[in-house]
Amino acid sequence: MSRQANILQTARERRQPLGFSLSEYLRGLDWVLLGATIALVVYGMLMLYSATHADTNISSSTYYVRSQLVGLVIGLVLMVFLSVIDYQWLARRQIYIYGFMLLLLVITLFAGSGGETVGANRWIELPFFRLQTSELSKLLLILSLGAVLAEGVQLRHRFRFVVLCVFYVLVPAILVFLQPDLGTALVFFAILTVMLVVWGIRLPHLGILAGAAALGAVMVLRVLPSLGISLLREYQLQRLTLFLNPESDPTGLGYQLTQSKIAVGSGMFTGKGFMEGTQTHLNFLPAHHTDFIFAVIGEELGFMGSVLLLGLFAVIIWRAFRIARLSQHMYGSLIAAGVAGVLMFQVFVNVGMTIGIMPVTGIPLPFVSFGSSALVVFLMAIGLLQSVHVRSVSGRPR
């Protein structure tokens, strides 16, 4: 390249600090992903209003929606910001991201608030926002673990490196588990699994990890309790097994699951109608605006409404894996895979526990369940996907 061409290119980059013009940025966006995300957020807001507008314990019918809108505004701003910046800049700050995540979790463990959850420390109170640090930690883990795996791509054949990555995830997972938040701790390992697969882990190594996980589950659920040692609280043990027979405790922990299955089943093909769900509005279904909001959807919008919701999730997950394939850098592929893994795991477990085929673990439905922190984090994740996509289709990775 000539000296004059170098000068012209330098001048353009000074005018465009991120290396992209506005037109290039707009052309590089994944508009299908963006459209599906907006549709899902609107869907969630409507169902949140339907689930809570008749709640007698709140001062206004829009109380929960207004609170969720705060998270929506913050999340949209951060989504745009993350879509513009160079995602590879984050890879070079891996140690700071990981350290910040651990610091947040430690502060939460010792100085956090429990909100509506008795005996739990899961939130940090900010002036206008209550941050659930375990939700933010999902994204921070994806960013930091992705950098570690991308840097160690030549070490795929070394099982020792894989084990180190497991411990890398185990530390924050234990801190989340101690809050206590078993569901989110399990999400961390779902992230690890999907990212390892995309990274290219050898099948024998993956098999060893799967066997170790199964053995660990048997030890925690069966062997240790028989010896009088319990790593899980009593209600956590019951939640993990009660879905097999909720009728054994119809007025206790099984009540929620039983009422949820009744709500979903009563919706049949087209549902009872928007804001017409009797299980919800007559207060038969607890936690209908958080972990069990899919039951509200099933009752009011029926099979058709549920298929629409799952279809939107399928589009977002498909686009995430597509971005992972298009990315010209391993780090971008791993970020996209991590986001897809979180969505797949949480949707499957949340919907599964609502209809009685999965244990009740307290995992919310992304973009739909009430929770400003979760909404902000998932919108940030969409912003990161867009950042990878823009730099992949432009042909000018930075």
Residues 337, 352 contacting (CB under 8 angstroms): no
- Kindly report, residue by residue over 53-100, the tens digit of the pLDDT: 877 777 788 889 999 999 999 999 999 999 999 999 999 999 999 999
Angle, vertex CA 75, rays to CA 381 and CA 352, nearest 5? 60
How many other C-beta atoms lie within 10 A of the C-beta of residue 95? 11
Q: How far apart are the first and last CA of the chain?
A: 19
For residue 114, what is the DSSP state? -
Per-residue pLDDT tens digits of the chain, which is 398 residues long: 444 444 334 444 444 445 567 888 888 899 999 999 999 999 999 999 998 887 777 778 888 999 999 999 999 999 999 999 999 999 999 999 999 999 999 999 988 777 555 456 888 888 777 889 999 999 999 999 999 999 999 998 899 999 999 999 999 999 999 988 899 999 999 999 999 999 999 999 999 999 999 999 888 888 888 788 888 887 777 778 777 778 777 777 788 888 888 899 998 999 999 888 888 777 778 878 888 999 999 999 999 999 999 999 999 999 999 999 999 899 999 999 999 999 999 999 999 999 988 888 889 999 999 999 999 999 999 999 999 999 988 754 44
Residues 6+ apart with CB under 8 A from 155: 161
Place of tokens 């779902």: 190
What is the overall mean pLDDT for the chain? 88
Distance CA 195, CA 50 (A): 37
**Which residue type is seen at 40?**
L
Query: Rounded to 5 degrees, what are φ and ψ at 128?
Result: -125, 15
- Kindly report, residue by residue over 364-392, the tens digit of the pLDDT: 999 999 999 999 999 999 999 999 999 98
